[in-house]
Amino acid sequence: MESAISACHRSSSFRQRLATWWVILRVALEERLVYRGDFALGTLMRFLPIITQIFLWRAVFDAVQTSGRADVAGYRFEDVVAYYLLTMVARAFSSMPGLASGIAASIRNGEVKKFIIQPVDMLGFLLLSRIAHKLAYYSVAVGPFALVFFLCRGFFLDGWPSWPVLAVFCASLVLGFFLGYFIEACIGLIGFWFLEVSSLLFVYMLLNFFLSGHMFPLDMLPGAARQWVDWLPFKYLAYFPAAVFLNKLAFPQMLRGLAIEVAWLVAFVLLSRLAWNRGLRRYSAFGG
């Protein structure tokens, strides 16, 4: 009897949660659609930097090829372009605009109290709304992305990768999302100790931009630096999924990469929990 009630209760609360989800999702979508001029420009412009990259690398490869080589660090010209396109996909999953600064701001202005008073876990809540935001974004961005990839299909010289590789690629994208979320959450939570995290965030952004492989394929780094970067979490935010897709890694290497990524993810989840608990204690001790 009791279990029946609790099951019933659970199911209704689950339904309620679904309803909440749906509302968050819908609002997020609508929000994106209100500024239509903005929106149209935004999705269109997102691919423009790649055009200049294509021309830059075409020119670089022109010079390289006259000296008799066909590739740079194992990348043909087409591979570089495909790489940049794939990092766009990876970044669409792993980038978290406004997350850390938002958390820090809510600590600064006391909005974080809401999460102390209400029976909602902040990290969980933000994760949910982030997922909703991302889904809303993908549902709109999938069009332009598909179009660009279709137009650029010639750059993918080796065509689609095999099914297992594709599976690893998808897994790395999803893991990349979570890794990106928890890294930024940790940075935001530092706001409990330092009021101004924007400078820290900027450092993170720089490192991220350079070491995630967003700027160039990490294989082009000189040997020693290359080894070093391999163990850092940044490369999973852009380089790793792209490299998997382009068959740059043998299967054992892929699995090793995934394992390291999961380890980093677990570390950042624990770290963010710890920071949240410690931070809250500190926050309430100082009376907000």
Partner 1 sequence: MAIIEVRGLTKHYRVYQKPEGLWAALRGLFHRRYVEVQAVRGIDLDVEEGEFVAFLGPNGAGKTTTLKLLSGVIYPTSGSARVMGYVPWKRDNAYRRQFALVMGQKNQLWWDLPAIESFRLHQQIYAIAPEEFRRNCDELTELLGVRDLLYQPVRELSLGERMKMELTAALLHSPRVLFLDEPTIGLDVVAQHNIQQFLRHYQEHRRITILLTSHYMKDVAALCRRVVIIARGQIQYDGSLAGIIDRFSKHKIVTLQFCEGQVVDRLERFGQVLQVQQPKARLRVARQEVPRTLASILATYAVQDVAVEDPPLEEVIAELFHRVNSDQQAPDSAGQKVEVETVEAGRRRD
Partner 2 sequence: MNNQAIHPPQNEPSRIGGRGPAYLRLLWLFACHSLIRDMSFRINFLIECVSSVSWALMNIGFYWIVFRHTRMIGQDTGWGEAEFFVFLATTWFINSLVQTFFMPNAEEFSELIRTGNLDFVLLKPVDTQFLVSFRRMDWSSLSNMLTAGGLMAISLWRLVTRPENPLKIEPIIVVLYVFYVLCGVAILYSVMIGLASTSIWLGRNQSLYDFWFYITNFSRYPMEIYYRGWGKVLWVAFTFVIPVLVVVNVPARLLARPLSPRAWWEWPLAGFAVVATLASLIVSRWVFQRALRSYRSASS
CB 259 within 8 A of CB 267: no
85 binds partner 2 (CB under 8 A): no
- Nearest residue (CB) to partner 1, 30 versus 121: 30
Give me the least distance between CB of 139 and partner 2, in Å please.
19
Choose which of 2, 3, 36, 97 interacts with partner 1 (CB under 8 A): 36
56 touching partner 2, by CB under 8 A: yes
- 19 is an interface residue for partner 1 by CB under 8 A: no
Residue 29 or residue 171: which is nearer to partner 1 going by CB?
29
224 near partner 2, rule: CB under 8 A: no
CA 88, 211, 216, 162 torsion: positive or negative? negative
**84: its two tokens:** 């940049």
Residue of 44, 264, 66, 79 lying closest to 172 (CA atoms): 264
d(CA 288, CA 286): 6
Neighbouring CB atoms inside 10 A of 266's CB total: 11
Instruction: Specify the residue, 75 or 115, whose C-beta has the smaller distance to partner 2.
Output: 75
Query: 46-80 burial string, b = 16+ CB within 10 Å, else e?
Result: ebeebeebbeebeeebeeeeeeeeeebeebebbbb
Q: Which of 6, 11, 14, 30 binds partner 1 (CB under 8 A)?
A: 30
**10 Å Cβ neighbour count for 264?**
19
Q: What is the token pair recorded at 98?
A: 């406004």
Using CB under 8 A as the binding rule, whether residue 209 contacts partner 2 is answered as yes
Binding flag, residue 52, partner 2 (CB under 8 A): yes
Interacting residue with partner 1 among 1, 34, 195, 285 (CB under 8 A): 34
Site size toward partner 2, by CB under 8 A? 37
Instruction: Please identify, using beta-carbon distances, which residue of 140 and 267 lies nearer to partner 1.
Output: 140
* Alpha carbon distance 154, 173 (integer Å): 23
- Please state the closest distance from residue 14 (CB atom) to partner 1, in A: 23
Give the residue carrying structure tokens 């998808």: 170
Catalog residues that contact partner 2 under the rule CB under 8 A.
35, 37-38, 41-42, 45-46, 48-49, 51-52, 55-56, 58-60, 62-67, 72-73, 196, 198-199, 202-203, 206, 209-210, 215-216, 220-222
Catalog residues that contact partner 1 under the rule CB under 8 A.
26, 29-30, 33-34, 36, 40
